[in-house]
Amino acid sequence: MLWLCIRLPRLAHEALAAVAQRAASTADCSTGHAVMERAAVERAAIERLAGWAYQWTSLVSYHLADEPLLWLELGASRALFGGHAALLAQLEAGLTLLGYSHVCALAPSPSGAALLTHVDAPVGTRTPPQRCAFTLPQLRARLEPLPLSLLALPEAILSALQSAGLRCIGQVLALPAAAIARRFGPETSLYLQRLCGAASDPRPAWRAPAAYRARCEFGGEVHDTNALLFPLQRLLLEFQGYLRGRDCSVLHFTLEFEHRRHPAGSVTIGLSAPARDAAQFLLLARERLQRTLLEAPVSALILQALEFTSPAIVQADLFGSDAQRLQQLQLLLDRLRARLGESRIQGLQSRADYRPERAWDCVAPRHGHRPPRESRESGEIAGAGAPAMLPMRPCALLPAPRRIEAAPELLSGPERIESGWWDDGDAARDYYVARGADGARLWVFHDLRHGGWYLQGLWV
């Protein structure tokens, strides 16, 4: 196994800025409450980071007692991401994008990786710090010259070791394990064995929750929706990692706005097809927030998703496939719905009725809908069997048939349609393709029941 340990020295400042500012202005009598609140929000921040890190490995663990530490087991997944160097580069780039200061170290044992995060470059040199060890002998070689002060041992034990003339970790590791256990207790001996990989070093595994909820509290009150985009970007990047780790996508998620003196408000961001890309989420959220009026200043922002679905992954194509073009169309529809509103964007759906004006309905765009491929020239529909020849239809239909004075020049027809006896809209018509006085091609019919000619549609 190969463990990556991520030390987050400024997590309390970077993820708990609101609590820190509030605690700074609080009287001494409430310091205990501020520390408790700080610890709770710090745990929430490391939980979100664990969800984000789940996209890189199935084994994630964290520790918050003394200093925030996040462990990832990379031995099983490094080949999938191009080797440990490429994987480490992707992880560090992601942490930087999230805005977290971090120090990373690799080692065959979790305790060894945690200790190596404290290794600095030699003073007065440009040599990078040696924080990576891929084998147990290499780990031992990295640990031996380091000072005793880096060991995670009580101060009394460190002072006793230094009083015995020991100055570096290698000198302690060279002592018999039985002597260490007899003098300083079995816990000290076990820690040193785990440090160099000589003993098992299990860590409690973090498990992704079934529902996602992330909360970001602000230092003050936010009055403008544009100011919400910066913290929202971090929340969405963490959300993307969670979705990738669980290999799922969402069709909608909710943004909730907490107010200090008003009930919370919320908006729902919907998508036409399952997605898990943070950039796409941010684009849609920006469009939606531009037309959102805040009822009161916002003190905290919550991102929540309760329902998940399988991902719809489109492979890249040099010339652009139909799936890629459909994905671009779906993104455009999502942006229009976010900007104009859900009810402003409609799709068309056929209905079992022969009357052209009643053969379709306006419906909400369906998720992942792909219309049948049609031949522009012959009017054929690709199907499982032989293509069926369909009558020629115009490009545009009038909302309702419009009466015309006289029969135009008929080019083809008739095509008889009789329908609607069950709903008091009985129709008996002979349809023709005609030419108008201006040369336009028209779709007209002759009403066999009441007489007269009507214009139904036209080719444009």
What confidence tens digit (pLDDT) does each residue in 372-414 have? 444 444 344 434 444 455 567 887 888 888 998 887 888 888 8
Q: What angle do CA 284, 208, 197 make, to 5 degrees?
A: 130
Question: Hey, where are the domains in the chain?
Answer: 3-195, 212-340, 396-458
Instruction: Give the residue carrying structure tokens 């979790």.
Output: 110
The two counts, helices (H) then strands (E), for the chain are 13, 17
Nearest CA among 347, 232, 341, 356 for reference residue 288: 341
Could you tell me if 448 and 428 are in contact, meaning their C-beta atoms sit under 8 angstroms apart? Answer: yes
CATH code linked to domain 212-340: 3.30.1490.100
The H or E element that residue 427 is part of is strand 427-435
| pLDDT at 182 (0 to 100) | 92
What is the rounded distance in angstroms from the CA atom of residue 211 to the CA atom of residue 306? Answer: 5
| pLDDT at 321 (0 to 100) | 60
Give percent of the chain above pLDDT 70: 83
What confidence tens digit (pLDDT) does each residue in 118-139 have? 988 766 666 677 888 999 999 9
Which band of pLDDT confidence, cut at 50, 70 and 90, is reported for residue 323?
A: low
What is the rounded distance in angstroms from the CA atom of residue 299 to the CA atom of residue 232? Answer: 13
- Two structure tokens written together for 199: 């003993």
Q: What is the CA radius of gyration of the chain?
A: 34
Which band of pLDDT confidence, cut at 50, 70 and 90, is reported for residue 22?
A: very low
Domain 3-195 class? mainly alpha
| pLDDT at 26 (0 to 100) | 35
What confidence tens digit (pLDDT) does each residue in 408-434 have? 888 888 889 888 878 877 889 999 999
pTM of the model: 0.70
What is the rounded distance in angstroms from the CA atom of residue 362 to the CA atom of residue 351? Answer: 10
Task: Answer whether residue 371 shows pLDDT above 70.
Answer: no
The backbone torsions φ and ψ at residue 90, rounded to the nearest 5 degrees and listed phi first, read -65, -40
* Signed CA dihedral, 388, 391, 395, 399: sign only: negative
The H or E element that residue 103 is part of is strand 103-107
- Which of 14-23, 81-90, 339-348 is predicted with the least confidence, judged by mean pLDDT? 14-23
From residue 423, give the alpha-carbon distance in Å to each of 231, 416, 420: 56, 19, 6
Task: Answer whether residue 260 shows pLDDT above 80.
Answer: yes
From residue 240, give the alpha-carbon distance in Å to each of 60, 100, 218: 17, 17, 22
- Two structure tokens written together for 187: 């816990």
What confidence tens digit (pLDDT) does each residue in 181-234 have? 999 999 999 999 999 989 998 899 999 899 999 988 877 788 888 888 888 999
The 10 Å Cβ neighbour count of residue 183 is 14
The H or E element that residue 272 is part of is strand 265-275
